Structure 1
Amino acid sequence: MRNIDEFNITRAVLQSLEGCDDPRLQEIMGALVRHLHDFAREVRLTEAELMRGIAFLTAAGQKCDDKRQELILLSDTLGLSMLAVALNNARPAGATEATVFGPFHVHDAPRMEQGDDIAAGAPGEPLDVELCVCALDGTPIPHAEVDVWQADEQGLYDVQIPALGSRRRARAVMKADVEGRLRFRSIVPRAYPIPTDGPVGEMLVATGRHPWRPAHVHFMVKAAGYQTLITHVFRAGDPYLDSDVVFGVRNSLVASFDGDAQGRRRLDLRLVLAPLEP
């Protein structure tokens, strides 16, 4: 198409996608083009602003490596990650709710056993965790795989500490027993700011937002015949529960980390998995 102007350019780009042989890709790209063009027209985007946006995305990509994912942070802080979770993780009543995955999961977490201390030297107040993985009707799910990870009392994950190298701490992959139960030791989570030394941090400052996440522990639970659960458990009373920078808090995921009769902190959980859809 010739003689492109601010109105007919959208149609021209959409026509260029008509040869796409992947219907879903064509649907996604078409919607993306329409919304991007409508956005630019609505705000009367200047060329200088466009280039500044491109520079921001370039810097975000350059900040990424095998230990840091700035683009996940961007998606999280814009609410896009949580929106995708909400769109794709509808669960039946009674199932534990899902929330954002976050950028700090790793695929080489150590395998540990019942009763182990997953903190592995990470600083923090000791915490005893006991959880049960079960189905909607309360039936225990035997031998479910439970992947756990969290920050230390300084608000740092192991992958953020160069001195640790490849050594892992405050994370583990474990198996529930035949009754769906899992017991392990860890440390009490603390609120922490997401990394602010990159473009996402600059965006938060520019838009008057704080970088803090409420204290939480991550869980990913897998079992044959059930939907994989990716969730957090948040510490009750945390001051950032109502202003989580990544919008991940759900009331059902807030739990007590109070002390027991001996003064040790405890977390008792019931993680309920939804069955796979037939």
Structure 2
Amino acid sequence: MKTIVIATDFSEGSKDAARYGYHLARQVRSNILLCHAIIIPAEIPQAGMVFWQDEEYELLLEDSASALHEFKEMLDSSLPATGFRPVISCKSQPGIMADVVKALAATPDNELIVSGTHQGRVFNNLLLGNHASNMIDNADKPVLMVSPGTEFRPIKKIAYATEFKDPENDLQHIYQLVYWAKQLNAEVLLVHICNEKKESPVLKEMIADYLVGISNNADYPNIYYRLIRNDRVDEGLDWICDHGQIDMLAMVHQHHNLFGELFAHSHTKQMADHLQLPLLVFPGTKS
């Protein structure tokens, strides 16, 4: 059976994300791997020269395992007695959260990662190694980012936002999204953000053929298209989130090298930073 990997650092925000992921797993009939990364002070550059005894290290592992088990029991007790109940397994490992989650999610059965976001500006998150920012950069599987305080509600419409600069690359992610939408019985709204200067008859014809191909190959009728004319991608994304009556936003994260990241904004990270809707992030091609 497929498994959803849920990352937690036991903060209130990450617990909110885990609760959301738990109800999502119930809806798509998936099991759960609940994981926690143990970061010892010696692994943090700011900590300086700190050395831990083996006994203290074992205590950290025991504390993490105990906290995961307690949280697992709390999640299990939140569901009614009837209906599908996800089987929850727990795993604690030393290391940085993004690295631990990436390793645990590497098996084929682990199809999705769920993580909470932390408030704060994206640029600060990048420099300070925020869990959410690192998770988006490092993951090889789709990551569902959930903001603090988000409560689960049935997912009826998922918007996939794109500029259609690389239609073939978009295609593989759209099919992945359709895979999840079928299980949720949700509509898929393909949102094309484009300024009027780039809107041409050739582009319109390409999009029409593209949509016909998707509908035929995906064998799913609930796929729709909407063009948003805006010169700024972030403003277009804000508009669809505020007015599109969607329950989840999906995007592809395009990776940058270090210098590119400092000077070029990632629209995906910008949305993860302030979005109140769950954000499904598909990993892009790494440069």
Give the alignment's TM-score, normalised by structure 2.
0.25
Structure number with greater Rg is 1
